[in-house]
Structure 1
Amino acid sequence: MDVKEYVRLSNLDFSGWDFSCLLNSGRMQEEMLSWSYGSSVLPYMQRSNSMLDMGTGGGELLSTLQPFPKKIAATEQYKPNVQIAKQRLEPLGVKVKEIQGDHNLPFASSSFDLVINRHESYNVNEVKRILTNNGTFITQQVGGADCADLNKLFGVPVNGEYLNWNLSNAVKDLKNAGLSVTFCKEEFPEQRFYDVGAILYYLKAIPWQIINFDPIDYMDELNMIDQRIQSTGYIEVRQHRFIISANK
């Protein structure tokens, strides 16, 4: 398939938050982290009576973490995913709330024994407010250096809003809010793309990586990337991930 056809296909309707179509088909490959987010949260779920999943996406991951605590809710800010999450999660007993930001969550204080968050923004004070006493917050975050090599390939700067988002600053924020950090780790795994279409899909799914990205504006860069893939077999970039567990 040539670059123009990949670009045409990238303009088709897109919804959800699931990269399994790339990973399962071998079009994209991610180096494994030394930890498992799912395995990290499951023991806490088993001993919690109430739980919130912040930024559930389309509910793809949460739906695999059953059985759930007695009371469970999820939030989602990205509008295209809200209905998908409701269709997937509400039949399982999960109350899905669409939110506009992190600073005023629609839950009473001390609502949840466990708050989990995978690759979603959060407000430290709001997390603390909705946690019960001795409640736990577990988050896996995408750091500010994530896939910066993609930006370099397209000749655009890294999104400055997230440049300083890393483990050190996140831990500092949690401690300043009065939470006790019990575990944290940061890694930079490799990620490979095996065709231009996989890169376009990825950039459409995460529009903050390259703001206002339109493939038509980057045809020269896309052709160069395609030539590199034809020559070496893939494009490799470095991800940025960190995980934190903290108690109130």
Structure 2
Amino acid sequence: MANDAHAPHRHRSFDELVAEAVAEPTEGWDFSWFEGRATEERPSWGYARAMGERLGRAEAALDLQTGGGEVLDRAPALPALTAATEGWPPNVQKATRRLGPRGVVVVASPEDAPLPFADAAFDLVTSRHPVRAPFAEIARVLRPGGTYFAQHVGPSSVFEVVEYFLGPQPEESRRARDPYAEKAQAEAAGLDVVDLRAERLRIEFFDIGAVVYFLRKVIWMVPGFTAEAYRPQLLALHERIGKEAPFVAHSTRHLIEARRPAA
């Protein structure tokens, strides 16, 4: 059972919780709204801290698919030349407002487009939870000896939520984002993978509003999700959480560090 800190949300009405979650803006990657409503274990490697350390040593850095710039902005120091890409227009605006004062150039660039930078432009490329890692492009924009340092979403991440709403998923969907497949992709692009670590982490949702907001924010989990379209499933899950709280799922994450050979 959830502890008393979560009771104020769990004991509110279904319609009130859903309405609040539907009204909350979803741009950026700030997850502070979940405070007291959901918890997620963090990977042991401490990506934001490790990323900040590497940025402090870099000369020129690129952060791919930066969201609202929240993770990049946590770095204590940034290289004089720092750029970021983002494909979703509301996030481009948010990242520009956040990162502009720190001298970061935010470039609107779709995830599937070639990176709009010259060959060998950066000695560090970073990314936290990219939709897809374009390893050939990453290798192209890295300087010889440069590093790609990223935390990726792994296979079957939060599939307890996905399959609750969509039913059992095909095996190819469950295997997508496999860290060893991505390692092979990076190596095929000419990068040397020097570190690869994976972990499975517990998530707890303490009220139905947290589930609704999660699915509105992470839109690829249940494509086309709306609270109205899935009202029967949401109501059943609300009642289940009230009796058995919390609703438990598991995220998967992997750390990947790859280098372009110096030669």
Pair in the same fold by TM > 0.5: yes
Which residue is equivalent to 1:11?
22
Structure 1 residues 101 and 151: CA distance shift in structure 2, 3 A: closer
Structure 1 vs Structure 2 CA RMSD = 1.7
Shift of 1:165: 1.2
Q: Which moved more, 1:153-162 or 1:66-75?
A: 153-162
Gaps of 5+ in 2: 1-11
Letter in 1 for 2:218: I
Question: Aligned pair 1:62/2:72, yes or no?
Answer: yes
Deviations 1:50-71 (A, max 9, x none): 0001111111111110210111
Q: Which of 76-85 and 150-159 deviates more?
A: 150-159
Contact kept, 8 Å, 2:166 with 2:222, in 1: the verdict is no
> What pairs with 1:122-201 in structure 2 (closer than 5 Å)?
122-158=133-169, 163-201=175-213
Q: What is the number of equivalent residue pairs in this alignment?
A: 246
Q: What is the match of residue 237 of structure 1? A: 249
What corresponds to 1:85 in structure 2?
Answer: 95
Is residue 212 of structure 1 aligned with residue 224 of structure 2? yes
**How far does residue 141 in structure 1 lie from its aligned partner after superposition?**
0.6
**What secondary structure sits across from 2:94 in the alignment?**
helix
Equivalent pair of 1:102/1:126 in contact (CA under 8 Å): no
Amino acid at match of 1:2: S
CA distance, structure 2, for counterparts of residue 155 and residue 46 of structure 1: 43
Answer with 105-114 or 160-169: which moved more.
160-169
Is the Cα contact below 8 Å between 2:197 and 2:256 reproduced in 1? yes
Where does residue 106 of structure 2 map in the other structure? 96
Q: Which amino acid aligns with 1:45?
A: L
What amino acid is aligned across from residue 193 of structure 2 in structure 1? Answer: V
1:134 partner letter: G
Separation (CA, whole Å) in 1 of partners of 2:220 and 2:168: 12
Q: Is 2:98 the counterpart of 1:115?
A: no
Question: Partner residue of 2:258?
Answer: 246
Letter in 1 for 2:118: A
Code of the aligned partner of 1:145: S
- 1:146/1:134 CA distance change after superposition, 3 Å: same
Code of the aligned partner of 2:207: D
Select 2:233's aligned residue among 221, 243, 248.
221
1:72 equivalent in structure 2: 82
Please name the residue that 1:50 is paired with: 60
SS in 1 for 2:77: coil
Asked if 1 retains the 8 angstrom alpha-carbon contact of 2:148 and 2:259, the reply is yes
Q: CA deviation at 1:152?
A: 1.9
- TM-score when normalising by structure 2: 0.88
Aligned residue identity for 2:241: I
CA deviations over 1:161-194 (Å, ceiling 9, x no partner): 6742111101111111111111110111010111
Separation in 2 of the partners of 1:142 and 1:101? 15
**Higher mean displacement: 9-18 or 72-81:** 9-18
CA distances 1:75-114 after superposition (whole Å, capped 9, x unpaired):
1112221101000100110000011234411111101000
- d(CA) in 1 for partners of 2:43 and 2:211? 21
State the Cα distance separating 1:158 from its structure 2 match: 4.4
Q: Secondary structure at the match of 1:244?
A: strand
Q: Residue 31 of structure 1 is aligned with which of 32, 41, 61?
A: 41
Q: Percent identity?
A: 33
Once the two structures are overlaid, the 10-residue window that deviates more, 111-120 or 152-161, is 152-161
